[in-house]
Amino acid sequence: MSLVLTCLMDQGKLSRDSLEVLGAGKSLASELGAGLAAAVIGAETGALCAAAGEYGAGKIYSVQDAALEQYYCDGYLAALESVCRECEPVAVLFVTNTQGRELAPRLAKRLGRAALVDCLSFNVDKETGRIVFTKPVFGGKAMAQAVLSDTPAVIALRRRSFEPAQQDQVEPEIIEVKPASIPPNPFKVIERVEEQQAGVRLEDARVVVSGGQGLGGPENFALLEELAGLLGGAVGASRVAVDSGWVSSSKQVGQTGKIVAPDIYLAVGISGACQHLAGCSGSKVIVAINTDPEAPIFGAARLGVVGDYRDVLPPLIEKVKEIV
C-alpha cells in the first residue's frame, strides 16, 4: 500500500502544526487510497509515537538518536532522508513553519525530487490520479496550481489552512529507522533567545490588534497593547512596522510572518498589501481603521472605519472596558 508521510517535528507531544499536517495527510491518503504514515525524530520518540497513533497514523517511522534530541536541519534531514528511502511515500507533508520551510526543499533535493512550499490546498485529479497543489504566488495576487512530476511530492502546507486531525486511535506499526550516519550540526549555537510572550500567543489569540505604517512610531503601539490586553488578545504588526524597528519581527503577520486566524483582526494604520493579508485572511472578521478610504485594506475588511486611530482607539478602549 502506498503511503502519505507526515513529518511531525515535535518533541514529546503533538503541536497544533503537527495535528494540521496529520489532518491534511489523512484527507490526502483517503483521496489516494493510501495509508497514513508519520515520521518522528528525537532522542526518545516513544511518547510521540503513541500520540501519532491516537490520531490515525497506521505506520510510524521512528528515528531515535541522542544526537537528535534538539532540532537541527542537517541531522533531521539525514533522518528524514532515511525514512523516505525506507518507506517510499507518494507524498511527504510538512507545515510551513521555520523547520518545514527549510526541510522540504532540501529533502526533495536529496531525493532528486521537487518541493512546493506554502500550499493552501490539494485535490486529486480523478482521471490521471495526479495531485494538484494550490499555492499563492505574487504575494497572494494569484493562485498557482502545480503538479510534481515524480513521487514523492514534497509539500509544506500553509499553517491554519487545514483542519487539525481528530482523534482516531489505531494500533500503529512502529518501524525503527537507523540512518547510516547522522552528521553533526555544522553550526555551533552560541546563544538562543526565546522571546517571552506576555499573554496569549499571537497565533492562538482570539483577537489580534495589528499596527502598521500609519502608527508612525513605536510609542503608538501602546494603545494597541492596551486594547489587545483588555480583549485577551495579542498585538501583531505589518512588515513596515517591523522593518522600522517599532516591534519585534516575531509579531509580523503575513505571508512570511505569522499566519493568524482570530475571530477579530483589527488592522490599524495598515494599508493592506497582499503579503500582509495572506497572514490574516482566515480571520472571521477583519476590521480596518485607516485614514485613507482608498486603502486596499478596505477591500479585504468586513468592517471599515475611515478615520484617525488616535481619535477612534481611545473611545474604543473605554467602551471595551465597560463591556468586558
Residue type at 42 in one-letter notation: G
Find the shortest distance in angstroms from Cβ 250 to another protein. 5
Taking a C-beta distance cutoff of 8 angstroms, is the pair 61, 86 a contact?
A: yes
As a dihedral over the C-alpha atoms of residue 263, residue 205, residue 26, residue 59, rounded to 10 degrees, the angle is -170
Residue of 110, 124, 213, 225 that binds another protein (CB under 8 A):
110
**Does residue 288 touch another protein according to CB under 8 A?**
yes
- Pick the stretch among 1-9, 18-26, 31-39, 244-252 that binds another protein (CB under 8 A): 244-252
Q: Which residue is listed with cell 526518545? A: 44
**Does residue 85 touch another protein according to CB under 8 A?**
no
**Does residue 219 touch another protein according to CB under 8 A?**
no
Residue of 13, 85, 178, 319 that binds another protein (CB under 8 A):
319
Taking a C-beta distance cutoff of 8 angstroms, is the pair 223, 317 a contact?
A: yes
Residue of 139, 164, 229, 282 that binds another protein (CB under 8 A):
139
- The residue among 172 and 272 lying less far from another protein, judged by its C-beta, is 272
CA distance 20 to 161: 8
Residue 92, SS3 per DSSP: strand
Residue of 88, 129, 299, 321 that binds another protein (CB under 8 A):
299
- The residue among 60 and 72 lying less far from another protein, judged by its C-beta, is 72
Cell (9 digits) for 285: 472578521
* Residues in 16-75 at the binding interface with another protein, rule: CB under 8 A: 73-74
Residue of 3, 40, 68, 117 that binds another protein (CB under 8 A):
117
- The residue among 40 and 111 lying less far from another protein, judged by its C-beta, is 111
- The residue among 171 and 192 lying less far from another protein, judged by its C-beta, is 192
- The residue among 19 and 36 lying less far from another protein, judged by its C-beta, is 19
Taking a C-beta distance cutoff of 8 angstroms, is the pair 17, 156 a contact?
A: no
Residue type at 253 in one-letter notation: V
Residue of 113, 175, 213, 216 that binds another protein (CB under 8 A):
113
Residue type at 233 in one-letter notation: G
CA distance 281 to 296: 13
**Does residue 204 touch another protein according to CB under 8 A?**
no
- The residue among 58 and 282 lying less far from another protein, judged by its C-beta, is 282
Cell (9 digits) for 314: 481611545
- Sorted by sequence, the CB contacts under 8 Å of residue 192 that are 6+ apart come out as none
CA distance 86 to 89: 9
Q: Which residue is listed with cell 518545514? A: 100
Residue of 24, 28, 264, 270 that binds another protein (CB under 8 A):
264
